[in-house]
Amino acid sequence: MANIDERIKALTDQLNKYSHEYYVLDQPSVPDSEYDQLLQELIKLEEAYPEKKQAHSPTERVGGKVLDGFTKVTHERPMLSLANAFNEEDLRDFDRRVKAGLDVDDVSYVAELKIDGLAVSLRYQDGEFVRGATRGDGEIGEDITQNLKTINSIPLKIDEPGTFEARGEAFMPKTSFMHLNKAREINEEEPFANPRNAAAGSLRQLDSKVAAKRHLDIFLYAIGQWENRSMETHSADLTYLRSLGFKTNTEWKDCQTIDEVIAFIEHWQVRRADLTYEIDGIVIKVDRLSYQERLGRTAKSPRWAIAYKFPAEEVATTLRAIEFSV
């Protein structure tokens, strides 16, 4: 039998690979029973040889000690917020400002779904997931590493040397939200108003064993601090994030004109109900990174991106209910 060290390393890498297939690619290559059997073997070996446990062991995902508070984290590269657009005119104004600012008449955009969750930053040092933080005020956030480790689609190890930061939105899928509120009603606890609040409440848990039961997920949409920054476009960044093992939202679209952006928005305004997670709009970004640099940012927001917000759905739902009842 290979020595204990090799067996623990082999099990750790094998289980992380199976986790990536199941939670990121949605293409499991082994049945759950095989995953559970290998995990039990690793748990036993780590109990017998705790000093041989790897930092990126999948046993890190079940939750650890209860914290008595969250430490503060400074984002070297600030997490910016987005200016809003509410109608077609706002979008065309944005397009005009971008072209005027760059003095060009053809700018390509990337349109992405705006997940209704909580913005977080994932920091990796020499491939190991070392710190996860909330956005906070953009400069200072809270260290929620223990809770983020319970999100199965977050890789605990990536093949990237040095410092690498991925930014994205942690969220609670609609089905997890319904089951959680059903359980809270049965326990006579206050139900959460929406999946966003449920995700925020789950990530603010000091006991990560509670977060581990909340079935949170994440989509990454930006690269933060990165020593080997080398891409030319934002779409190349998204492709690179996926190649590193991150879960990115596949519904993004390259748009050559603002008209294509508007068509994308109209498509998802209708189709959003079919998604397994809530979105509250569409984010539009100038694709070329050199153009982003030239446009720069205001104190809080980039000049090269904007968020189109869908009209609030609750009102529509309530009205529909009233219409239906009369």
Ligand X SMILES: CC(C)(CNC(=O)c1ccc(Oc2ccccc2)cc1)c1ccc2c(N)nc(N)nc2n1
Interacting residue ranges for ligand X, rule: CB under 6 A:
77-80, 82, 112, 114, 119, 167, 169, 221-222, 283, 285, 297, 302, 305
Q: Quick check: helix, strand or coil at residue 13? A: helix
Minimum Å distance from CB 82 to ligand X?
Answer: 5
Catalytic residue among 44, 52, 114, 247: 114
Burial 35-46 (b: 16+ CB within 10 A, else e): beebbeebbebb
Minimum Å distance from CB 290 to ligand X?
Answer: 13
Contact 235, 188 (CB under 8 A): no
* Residue written as token pair 């956005």: 135
Give the C-alpha distances (Å, rounded to integers) separating 89 from 86, 95, 96, 303, 307.
8, 10, 10, 17, 13
Minimum Å distance from CB 202 to ligand X?
Answer: 18
Minimum Å distance from CB 84 to ligand X?
Answer: 11
Q: Give the angle subtended at the CA of 308 by the CAs of 306 and 312, to the nearest 5°.
A: 145
Looking at the Cβ atoms of 64 and 78, the one nearer to ligand X is 78
Residue 32: burial class (beta carbons within 10 Å; 0-12, 13-18, 19+): exposed
The bridge status of strand 109-115 relative to strand 253-255 is antiparallel
114 is catalytic: yes
Looking at the Cβ atoms of 17 and 271, the one nearer to ligand X is 271
Minimum Å distance from CB 187 to ligand X?
Answer: 32
Looking at the Cβ atoms of 157 and 234, the one nearer to ligand X is 234
Residue 92: burial class (beta carbons within 10 Å; 0-12, 13-18, 19+): middle
Looking at the Cβ atoms of 67 and 275, the one nearer to ligand X is 275
Looking at the Cβ atoms of 80 and 265, the one nearer to ligand X is 80
Residues annotated as catalytic are: 114
